[in-house]
Structure 1
Amino acid sequence: MIRLPFSIDINAPKEKVWYSLWDDENYESWVSAFCEGSYAISDWNQGSKIYFLDQNGSGMNSKIAINKPFETMLFHHLGELKEYTELPETEITKAWSGAEERYDLKENNGITTVLVTIDLVEKYLDYFNDAFPKALEKLKTIAESKPKTITVKTTLDTSLEDVWSKFTQPEHIINWNFASNDWHCPKAENHLEIGKNFTFTMASKDGEMNFDFVGTYQEIIPMKKLVYQIADGRKVTVKFDVMDNQIILTENFEPENIHSVELQRSGWQSILDNFKKYTEQ
């Protein structure tokens, strides 16, 4: 096993670089330098499992050993995946087992240095020496640009059928679709067909503010994926993944230009947290 270092300086704060690394669509963009269509399935919490996959469901089964936000991410690679299934130990998995992949971020005067150290089997040395600098250049472009999408996630200890029902049925939506306890969702309509709309009424409990959140469905794969366009033109993708008898629910949404990215991320995450609380009660 050989350990290789890579680094790049990025003209962006470490928080923005961190989300450029790990938000779903950002991650898929920069790792395309290794394999087009690559992606990951995980809740990204420390101690959790993570699958690094290609379009055919092959890749690596790994563990998130450290997730220290805005500072360090460390993966321990455990084994091989084929068709989304963990394979028994082979000579290949033995060679990779225990390999580490570490990302450290250090910011100085608005410039963030990303230092990557990876353990490699020797025969892949030339490939990664060529591909990793290209991947980091893609990361730099992402981090130094305006965010295209924001990712929020939650993990649920229940069945996929239960998650799908409570996420899509109006009688459930009214019980969780708000970001704070001083707001509520008094009315929800959802026509779950491509080209049809949903309308969720969001209102402050004191009656002073309310608005309708309206979207049109563009893609529906039952219990797997929803894609819709908000009335203001922004796109939202919702994914339902299963790992180790848990459901990982992920929302990727295009930010608007009025509120800060941090406030939007916090608000959407709070709604997902409410959904988790309601679904698991």
Structure 2
Amino acid sequence: MRNETTLVTGATGKTGRRVLRQLREKGVRARAASRSSHTRFDWSDRTTWEQALHGVSGMYVVAPDLGGAQASEDIAALARLAAGAGVRRAVLLSFPHTDTPGLDLGHVRAAERALGEAGLDATIIRPRWFFQNFSEDFLRDAVLSGDVRLPAGDGQEAFVDAEDIAAVVVTALTQNGHGDGHAGQEYEVSGPRPMSFADAVADIARATGRDLRYTPLTADAYAAEQRAHGVPEAWIQLTIGLYAEIRAGAPSSVTEDVEKVLGRPPRDFADHARTAAARGAWTS
């Protein structure tokens, strides 16, 4: 595998850039592919796909709008093209079962099946919410405000480190061939413990020394506040659905898949909070 090339789509994203770095740290030749990278890859422009796949033996697939019909069709088309180009391994970033409005699990599962149906040795990764949502993404501003206000109640989620997700992806990509235990597998990737948003905020408060709090809101109150900040309605409704699942406790179970693949337990959120704080993640 060291003399072959692995394609990383979504190479500027939270998992993609970590997969790219970890592959290179292992001495694996990795090709970054995104709309802005040297090797251009655009899901909406299929003319960019063939060149990105040239000389590739494995690929990490991250598709926008997974759960829609277009994403399912695009992944199936990419899988067929990849198989024809000699790609053998593929890892798809998917997501667990959800009843969130706007996310069609039928399309998601069709996208997952498409990789194997094209003849690729495929592995499916279904992660829980990322630790990095608090330090790099849409919850960071709420943390900086000092009051994380969400309609999640006291519900819990087994938040997971994007570094652990990337490590599982890299392991699946670099142990190639039939019978390695990863081809055909579906990994539900979680952190080591179920946590409420209050728990996460408390860990960040301890790590930063700041006075932070979590305030549970009703869905209507949350929507009103988001609209007042100019947040698009589609995002508001999507996140309300996601928070409702957490409030109901749907994604709180912990899995052993990180340890099964990596031979070590997943990283704890408190460790991430300390590291992220030391790197200035919550310095405004």
Q: Between Structure 1 and Structure 2, whose CA radius of gyration is higher?
A: 1
Determine which structure has the larger helix proportion and give its number: 2
Determine which structure has the larger strand proportion and give its number: 1
**Structure 2-normalised TM-score?**
0.25
**Structure 1-normalised TM-score?**
0.25
